[in-house]
Amino acid sequence: MKKRYLMPLFWLLITTVALADSPPVAERVSGPSLSAAVSPAEPDELQLAVESWPLVGTARLKVLFWEVYDSQLFTPSGSWQGEAPYQLSLRYLRDIPASKLVEETDKAWRQQGRSHPRQREWLQQLNAMWPDIARGDNLVFGLNASGDSAFWFNGSPIGSIDDRDFGSLFGGIWLDPDTPRPELRAQLIGPTSKLAPNSRPE
């Protein structure tokens, strides 16, 4: 009789211990954006790598009295080599409609003297892809060594422009020597001593 009561108690105890050691289902099943953020990204892959690649530099954009965004540059080596692969993270400090982001992109290209036959088409695609920005939102642009690019919004992929000419022109707004924001670029790419021997001249 005593045995009949002891055995169920024994198995109840074992089950309780096992459940205590197991993470909740929500923790065990990761979504695509979470796994992409924490797993190492190969240099030529287009997956979110801002949690696995080293930080090169960071800079805050201020326009007059307004703080616009904090930017961070990540590369597989942790230094700026003058070219892709890299990922640029922008965490916004104010609300900005998508149409304004597109307008500023076009303005920057005009300031740099950039011209491409598909430029107007790219801007239309960006306007359809980008959401309106709220304070605290994070937009990441990634470019791999093959010239493929992609965007992530708050950790989730939101799309890409299917043209390898686009990536270098878009990233060049921040990283090309003729950027409209040279002070910001200088902070992003870090000291010039980190530049590789094959880097583009300043």
What pLDDT tens digit does each residue of the chain (202 aa) get?
Answer: 444 444 443 343 333 333 333 333 333 223 333 333 445 666 667 999 999 999 999 999 999 989 999 999 999 999 999 999 999 999 999 999 999 999 999 999 999 999 999 999 999 999 999 999 999 999 999 999 999 999 999 999 999 999 999 999 999 999 999 999 999 999 999 975 344 333 333 3
Q: Helix, strand, coil % (nearest 5) of the chain?
A: 40, 20, 40
Three-state DSSP at 67 gives: strand
CA distance 151 to 88: 10
Is residue 179 a part of any domain in this protein? yes
**Which pLDDT does position 193 carry in this prediction?**
36
Within-domain flag for 16: no
**Domain span including residue 38:** 32-191
Residue 2 domain-assigned (yes or no): no
What is the number of other CB atoms lying within 10 angstroms of the CB of residue 159?
14
Instruction: With respect to residue 10, please indicate whether it lies within any of the assigned structural domains.
Output: no
Please report, for the domain that includes residue 141, its CATH number: 3.50.70.10
- Based on the structure, what is the number of domains in the chain? 1
Q: Across-strand partners of 139?
A: 90, 153
